[in-house]
Amino acid sequence: MEFTTHAIRRCNQRAIPRVLAELIVKTGDEYKCGQSRRIIIARSKNAHKELVKELQIIGIKIKYGWENTYVVVDGTGTVITAGHRTKRIKIMKY
């Protein structure tokens, strides 16, 4: 999976492991956010359970705040940015 330099910088600044961002893209719920971009977040119960399960398989202990992590992906599947949701994200179901 490709990450832009901006995404790598933001992941480092926000203490989001690259593995976590990749798992969110793999297991999370997708929502349109304009210009062929998608916000992916483990919002539903099933997506959250799947994310925790995958992290346990890898051997990573989930930390506080990771459940609110989101990833923005462009149309080609490149990760543009990642962050922690602190307020409601206005999104439309994909």
pLDDT in tens, 55-78: 999 998 888 888 889 999 999 999
For residue range 6-33, what is the model confidence (pLDDT) as tens digits? 999 999 999 999 999 999 999 999 998 8
Q: Give the Cα separation of 6 and 8 in Å (integer).
A: 5
Amino acid 65: pLDDT: 80
Domain boundaries, the chain: 13-85
Distances (CA, A) of 62 to 21, 34, 68, 74: 13, 30, 12, 26
